[in-house]
């Protein structure tokens, strides 16, 4: 018997839209028969059938809610419709059921639009891959069958199926699903590519490094889905409120009936008191906002993060790789050796052995120099290094390193050193036989348009912009002055930054720390909101609350602006929902025009209004243009 009941329920829910259409048609037939043919019997019969048919899916949902001890909106409507039916108010019962079902239909349609941003991401998830076999032939397999270090061929127009390294070939890749940027990126041998991105042109052979859920794209989807399922404090409050509010409406209706013996007024209260717009208004804002963020390369780790980010008043930045590009360049060089060609060869040969960013900058600056064999090298932590090349002892490092080895400076060289320091440059010194042979001034360029983006942050309500860096004082102050920051502190170790952030929090400030997601993990974790900029690195995704998939400050502006817009939108929807309910209930007692049909119509319209209002977030574009 239970199996038969379940089948009937499933059939009714499956054809809910059909029931809505038939119910509406019967209501039209009823009024046509009354006005055109004066047939009261057909009028009444059609409304009775429309009421009975329309209440079925609503009543079934009400029963399911009561089974889990929840008095839902469907419970209120079902009680109201049955009561109206019993007192032979067939017009009211038929119209209320139709409006409720039709409203549900429109809600589903409009809510689907808010989820398109997520669905468009999901549609990019690769399903198959062309795997290259040992005999160099190809086979199309499911992505789940791809293993680490497998070789995959990707052709023009295809989705890249894995995270990996290009082994051969070249092409142009659309990375919008990862970074939110539609501008194609050129890829060639040695470059990294991401699953879920699209090869617009060319052919690539890729060696697999990560597959499935471990890919950057897989983690993005996981984060977005988790964010949709999570709830803000506001959402949790609304859920608790609705669980208390709905039974109170039922009790109010019962009390009005007992005191006035006016069952029609009691039924109207049941219909008008439904908190539909209140229940749906906040989630639709959250889904639309999170979807917008995902489209623009901004990932929120939950709706709670959005609420906290909207309250931030102080943003603290790391310098290297955050405000700057993280790729130092030589801007000034001075040599004090007759054989400049040999000197360059010595420097390049030694710096090739180092992975320090300044070393790479020197190599790029002297890329045509010949490479000599390095016989020995000693690294002096935090200062520099000493190496032996062709029986020549070369010292490369900072001023502390030169002092350690008693390197002499002429007055002219000392003056040049002070000039570079005043420019805020990082300085690399080269000495041979305790004599200074070269001096290089390097600077890490600021990110493009970062100054304009910081101005936008202030306009969005951020009161204080602070720079914390491990770099030397002159370099940090140069960046701070150029960008107009409120505070700047140099020579800070990670633990120093954490202490400073805690000090700000003790003053009652809401702190967002922005870093590259690789260093300063304690600061990212300690701040109220940790924001990682870094092209979707694993560490960035794991350690922060917000991930900017592209290292571009306009995405930071977008993230903070979007969080504030989302919270404002939620507040608007709450005000609309509560305002409409109070207006309707007041008119039950203060006016004569209010009835069940009008009440239900206004109720459903209020739900559509909050949905449409929430959907506006899909088009939010502050700081970022599609």
Q: What are phi and psi of 512, to 5 degrees?
A: -110, 125
416 shares a domain with 353: yes
Residues with a catalytic annotation lie at: 318
- Domain containing 138 equals 127-158+163-210
Per-residue confidence (pLDDT) for residue 98, from 0 to 100: 87
Q: Are strands 435-443 and 464-468 parallel, antiparallel or unpaired?
A: unpaired
Amino acid 366: pLDDT? 93
| 504 shares a domain with 429 | no
pLDDT of residue 123: 65
Q: Do the domain assignments include residue 343?
A: yes
User: How far apart (Å, rounded) are the C-alpha atoms in residues 484 and 446?
Assistant: 13
| Tokens (6 digits) for 615 | 């959907």
Are both 319 and 467 inside the same structural domain? Answer: yes
Q: What is the pLDDT of residue 536?
A: 44
How far apart CA 428 and CA 383 sit, in angstroms, is 10
Which residue among 504, 534, 561 closes a domain? 561
The answer to the question of residue 270 being in a domain is: no
DSSP letter for each residue of 332-368: EEEE--S-HHHHHHHHHHHHTT---HHHHHHHHHTTT
Residue 234 domain-assigned? no
Residues 425 and 478 in one domain: no
Residue 275 has pLDDT above 80, yes or no: no
In a domain, 319, yes or no: yes
Split into its structural domains, the chain has a count of 3
**3-state class (DSSP) for residue 180:** coil
Residues 314, 451 share a domain: yes
Query: Does residue 241 lie in a domain region?
Result: no
Burial of 549 (0-12, 13-18, 19+ CB in 10 A): buried
18 is a domain residue: no
Given pLDDT bands bounded at 50, 70 and 90, which one contains residue 337? Answer: confident
* pLDDT tens string 11-50: 888 888 899 999 999 999 998 998 888 888 999 999 999 9
The distance of Cα 412 from the centroid of its chain, to the nearest Å, equals: 54
Q: Is residue 617 part of a domain?
A: no
Per-residue pLDDT at 113: 58
The reply to whether 372 and 426 lie within a common domain is yes
Higher pLDDT, 503 or 282: 503
Instruction: Dump the DSSP string for 486-502.
Output: SEEE-S--HHHHHHHHH
Residue 602 lies in a domain: no
DSSP E strands: which ranges in 434-543?
435-443, 464-468, 487-489, 511-515, 529-533
Per-chain mean pLDDT for the chain: 84
Instruction: Annotate 405-427 with b (16+ C-beta within 10 A) or e (fewer).
Output: eebebeeebeebbeebbeebbbb
Q: CATH number of the domain at 192, please.
A: 2.70.150.10
* pLDDT for position 411: 92
User: Among 418, 443, 468, which residue terminates a domain?
Assistant: 443
144 and 206 part of one domain: yes
| CATH for 364 | 3.40.1110.10
Domain of residue 471, CATH code: 3.40.50.1000
The answer on pLDDT for 508 being more than 50 is yes
Based on the fold, state whether residues 171 and 192 are members of the same structural domain.
yes
- What's the Cα-to-Cα distance from 141 to each of 126, 149, 158, 160, 164, rounded to whole Å? 11, 15, 14, 13, 17
Q: pLDDT-derived band of residue 626, with 50, 70 and 90 as boundaries?
A: very low
pLDDT at 70 over 90: no
Given pLDDT bands bounded at 50, 70 and 90, which one contains residue 314?
A: very high
Last residue of a domain, one of 406, 425, 443: 443
Enumerate residues 6+ apart whose C-beta is below 8 A from 154. Answer: 130, 160, 161, 171, 199, 203, 204, 205, 206
Q: Is 341 in the same domain as 475?
A: no
Q: Backbone dihedral region of 384: left (phi > 0), alpha (psi from -120 to 50 degrees) or beta?
A: left
The verdict on 415 and 473 lying in the same domain is: no
Between the alpha carbon of residue 278 and those of residues 111, 173, 241, 289, 618, the distances in Å are 15, 44, 10, 18, 20
Residues 505 and 551 in one domain: yes
pLDDT digits (tens, 9 = 90+) for 519-541: 567 788 788 998 987 654 555 56
Q: Are residues 465 and 521 in the same domain?
A: yes
The pLDDT value recorded for residue 520 is 67
- The mean per-residue pLDDT over the stretch 90-100 comes to 84
Of 207-216, 434-443, 471-480, the range with the highest mean pLDDT is 434-443
């Amino acid at each position: 018997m239970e199996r038969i009941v379940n089948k009937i329920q499933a059939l009714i829910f499956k054809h809910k839209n059909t029931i809505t259409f038939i119910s509406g048609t019967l209501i039209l037939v009823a009024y046509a028969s009354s006005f055109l043919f004066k047939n009261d019997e057909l009028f009444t019969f059609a409304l009775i059938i429309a009421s009975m048919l329309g209440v079925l899916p609503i009543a079934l949902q009400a029963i399911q809610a009561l089974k889990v001890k929840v008095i839902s909106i469907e419970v209120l409507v079902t009680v109201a419709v049955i009561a109206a039916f019993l007192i032979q108010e067939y017009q009211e019962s038929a119209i209320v059921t139709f409006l409720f079902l039709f409203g549900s239909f429109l809600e589903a349609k409009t809510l689907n639009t808010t989820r398109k941003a997520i669905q468009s991401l999901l549609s990019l998830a690769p399903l198959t891959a062309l795997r290259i076999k040992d005999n160099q032939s190809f086979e199309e397999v499911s992505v789940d069958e791809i293993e680490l270090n497998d070789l995959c061929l990707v052709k023009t127009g295809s989705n890249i199926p894995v995270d990996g390294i290009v082994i051969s070939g070249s092409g142009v890749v659309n990375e919008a699903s990862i970074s939110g940027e539609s501008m194609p990126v050129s890829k060639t041998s040695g470059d990294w590519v991401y699953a879920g991105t699209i090869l617009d042109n060319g052919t690539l052979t890729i060696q697999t490094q990560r597959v499935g859920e471990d890919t950057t794209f897989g983690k993005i989807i996981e984060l977005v889905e988790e964010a949709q399922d999570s709830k803000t404090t506001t959402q949790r409050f609304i859920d608790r409120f609705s669980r208390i509010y709905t039974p109170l409406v039922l009790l109010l209706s019962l009390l009005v009936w007992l005191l006035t013996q006016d069952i029609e007024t009691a039924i109207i209260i049941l219909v008008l008191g439904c908190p539909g717009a209140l229940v749906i208004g906040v989630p639709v804002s959250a889904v639309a906002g999170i979807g917008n963020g995902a489209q623009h390369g901004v990932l929120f780790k939950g709706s709670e993060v959005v609420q906290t980010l909207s309250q931030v008043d102080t943003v603290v930045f790391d310098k290297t790789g955050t405000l700057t590009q993280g790729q130092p360049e030589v801007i000034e060089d001075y040599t004090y050796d007759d054989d400049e060609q040999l000197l360059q060869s010595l420097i390049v040969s030694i710096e090739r052995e180092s992975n320090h960013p300044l070393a790479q900058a020197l190599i790029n600056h002297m890329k045509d120099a010949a490479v000599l064999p390095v016989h020995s090298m000693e690294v002096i932590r935090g200062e520099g290094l000493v190496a032996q090349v062709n029986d020549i002892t070369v010292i490369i490092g900072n001023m502390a390193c030169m002092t350690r080895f008693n390197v002499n400076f002429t007055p002219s060289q000392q003056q040049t050193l002070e000039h570079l320091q005043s420019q805020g440059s990082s300085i690399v010194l080269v000495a041979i036989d305790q004599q200074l042979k070269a001096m290089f001034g390097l600077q890490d360029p600021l990110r493009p348009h970062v100054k304009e983006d910081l101005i936008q942050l202030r306009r969005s309500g951020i009161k204080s912009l602070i720079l914390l860096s491990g770099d030397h004082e002159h370099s940090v102050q140069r960046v701070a002055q150029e960008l107009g920051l409120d505070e700047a502190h140099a020579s800070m170790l990670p633990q120093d930054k954490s202490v400073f952030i805690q000090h700000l929090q003790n003053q009652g400030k809401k702190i967002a720390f922005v870093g590259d997601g690789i260093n300063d993990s304690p600061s990212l974790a300690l701040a109220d909101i940790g924001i990682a900029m870094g092209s979707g690195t694993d560490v960035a995704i794991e350690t922060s609350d917000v991930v900017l998939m592209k290292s571009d400050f306009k995405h930071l502006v977008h993230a903070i602006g979007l969080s504030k817009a989302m919270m404002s939108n939620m507040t608007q929807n709450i005000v609309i929902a509560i305002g409409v309910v109070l207006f309707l209930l007041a008119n039950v007692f203060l006016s004569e025009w209010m009835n069940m049909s009008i009440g239900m119509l206004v109720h459903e319209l209020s739900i559509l209004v909050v949905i449409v209002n929430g959907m506006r977030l899909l088009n939010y574009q502050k700081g970022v243009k599609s």
